[in-house]
Structure 1
Amino acid sequence: MSKLGDAVASEWTKFWSVRATWLSLAASAVLMTAYSVMGGLVIARDGETGSVRSIAINGAFYMAQFPVIAVAALFVTSEYASGSIRSSLLWVPVRNRLLLAKATVLLPVLFVLGAVLAGLSMVVGGVLAGAHAIPVPAGQIVLTIAGMAAYFALLGVLCLGIGTALRSTAGTIVSVMVLLLMLPMLVGALGANALVDYFPGFAGVNGMLPEGEMNPIFHTPTVYAPWIGTLSCAAWSVAALVAGSVVLRKRDA
């Protein structure tokens, strides 16, 4: 096995051996399901047509993404809190390799989580909404599932990079929330609306929708193709990972 492979195997074991991982992933599923049940019942109760894709996207943004942020942040900050980062760095002395190993673990896990929760949400919401659910083409369903999977995976890497730089669970979660919500709102209020769609939260949601469709979170039409939204998220995640790598190499040389 390669040295990177050894590091990935070690991080994989650490990731799944911590109770917080299981609790966070379970919380994400419970919150998404609860929102989908509520969304489907509201559509059926009101007697108006509604989109199951909107239920899934709203559920991800307002509910399911918060445990994802927590589990990704804790994957690195908990080691600093407990002091076990010293053992990790002794086992993997090449700093960038350690960070890459953690990212390699997070990406597939959160990608699968996003895909499963998107599909589950649309099924649950559609069943409960019944005849009031708006028919959705298969291509758009696949787009929403793939977009949510990519968003969750890239959000995890974003949190990993910021967490490595800050070394604080609370600081990481607050910083990510500011980046996802508060900062875009401030930029929009200052009149730079053209920039708002390229912040990671906005871009992630736009990556789940066809170009020109109304964004169910922000109630504005998407202004670019879905792949641009996903690419924007990826750029933020890579930048965060690079920042985390620089701090890791300087402070833990």
Structure 2
Amino acid sequence: MSSFPAILQSEWTKIRTVASTSWTLALVFLVTVGFAALFSATFDTNSLDAAQRATFDPTAMTTGSMQFGQLAMIVFGVMVVSTEYSTGMIRTSLAAVPHRGRFLLGKMAVATALALVVGLLTSFVSFFLTQALLGDVGIGIGEENVLRAVTGVGLYLALLALFCMGTAAMLRSSVAAISILIPFFLIVSNLLNGFEATRTVGQYLPSNAGSKIMQVVPNALGAPETPYGPWGGFGIMALWTLAAVLGGYLVLRKRDA
């Protein structure tokens, strides 16, 4: 049986040598930073009314652009797992590592670490760029809750990738996983959180709860109140992620490759 360091080395080799996973991680950075620069360069504070100006959050330029970058992170998380099924390499991998739990843990550990590094690099570059472009209305990294929010972007993206890996392990199909996850995170979550009647459900979905960690100003620009704080919301997303990972493990353990 392969040692765990050998499994980690193998998974690292797989990820860095497959073009699709490498490019999706690069797109996380390029898309997020690009849109952050665009939003900041074209933002007009004079368009805000008095209430919005009072709760204006300069870091929202970074977190807002992350909504586009997370599309690439969803694809990355799915492709890390599902590519082996589509190519048939999963049989070779499981023959080399018969212990399926160790195999999945190694794969998810390497991919999540990469997602965290890319997420943190993306968030800090986006933050310093946007604050420079905002000029007088920008904010410093040392201001209250700012470091937590900027770091939270990276943490959110890492959990997002892990959630998608668990989902892909359950579905075993790139098309099925991406077709479910992108509408779930970008459409369903926003719709349920956008209406008073469904907000009690929508605010507990992973994207809405997890994004709370990225807020510096509570209820900025009229955002609805939540019964949990930044770390509470992150904890809710972590529970969703744990459920997805456990589901993926159970499917991998019970079903033939």
Fold match by TM threshold 0.5? yes
Name the CA distance, whole Å, in 2 between partners of 1:125 and 1:221.
26
Instruction: Tell me what 2:214 maps to.
Output: 208
- Residue type matched to 1:21 in 2? T
Ranges in structure 2 where 5+ consecutive residues have no aligned partner:
none
Q: Offset of 1:134 from its aligned partner? A: 5.0
- Residue type matched to 1:151 in 2? Y
Instruction: Tell me what 1:230 maps to.
Output: 234
Instruction: Please tell me whether the aligned partners of residues 89 and 95 of structure 1 are also in contact (alpha carbons under 8 angstroms).
Output: yes
Say how many residue pairs are matched: 250
Name the CA distance, whole Å, in 1 between partners of 2:180 and 2:125.
29
Spell out the pairing of 1:69-148 with structure 2 (5 A cutoff): 69-134=74-139, 137-148=142-153
Name the CA distance, whole Å, in 1 between partners of 2:34 and 2:229.
30
TM-score of the aligned structures, taking structure 2 as reference length = 0.87
Instruction: Please tell me whether the aligned partners of residues 37 and 129 of structure 2 are also in contact (alpha carbons under 8 angstroms).
Output: yes
Instruction: Please tell me whether the aligned partners of residues 95 and 249 of structure 1 are also in contact (alpha carbons under 8 angstroms).
Output: yes
CA deviations 1:28-65 (Å, max 9, x no partner) are 1111121111111112686877643100111112x111
- Secondary structure of the residue aligned to 1:163 is helix
Name the CA distance, whole Å, in 2 between partners of 1:17 and 1:136.
36
Spell out the pairing of 1:1-253 with structure 2 (5 A cutoff): 3-43=3-43, 51-61=57-67, 63-134=68-139, 137-185=142-190, 187=192, 191-209=197-215, 213-214=218-219, 219-252=223-256
- Residue type matched to 2:202 in 1? V
Could you tell me the percent identity over the aligned residues? 28
Q: Offset of 1:190 from its aligned partner? A: 8.6
Q: Offset of 1:158 from its aligned partner? A: 0.7
- Residue type matched to 2:210 in 1? G
Moved more, 239-248 or 49-58: 49-58
Name the CA distance, whole Å, in 1 between partners of 2:30 and 2:46.
24
Structure 1 residues 245 and 5: CA distance shift in structure 2, 3 A: same
- Secondary structure of the residue aligned to 1:191 is coil
Q: Offset of 1:20 from its aligned partner? A: 1.5
- Secondary structure of the residue aligned to 1:119 is helix
Q: Offset of 1:151 from its aligned partner? A: 0.8
TM-score of the aligned structures, taking structure 1 as reference length = 0.89
Ranges in structure 1 where 5+ consecutive residues have no aligned partner:
none
Q: Offset of 1:201 from its aligned partner? A: 0.7
Structure 1 residues 65 and 246: CA distance shift in structure 2, 3 A: same
Moved more, 166-175 or 137-146: 137-146
Q: Offset of 1:179 from its aligned partner? A: 2.9
Structure 1 residues 120 and 52: CA distance shift in structure 2, 3 A: farther
- Residue type matched to 1:56 in 2? T
- Residue type matched to 1:247 in 2? V
Q: Offset of 1:23 from its aligned partner? A: 1.0
Name the CA distance, whole Å, in 1 between partners of 2:220 and 2:45.
23
Moved more, 225-234 or 138-147: 138-147
- Residue type matched to 2:169 in 1? T
Name the CA distance, whole Å, in 1 between partners of 2:101 and 2:84.
16
Instruction: Please tell me whether the aligned partners of residues 71 and 182 of structure 2 are also in contact (alpha carbons under 8 angstroms).
Output: no
Structure 1 residues 45 and 205: CA distance shift in structure 2, 3 A: closer
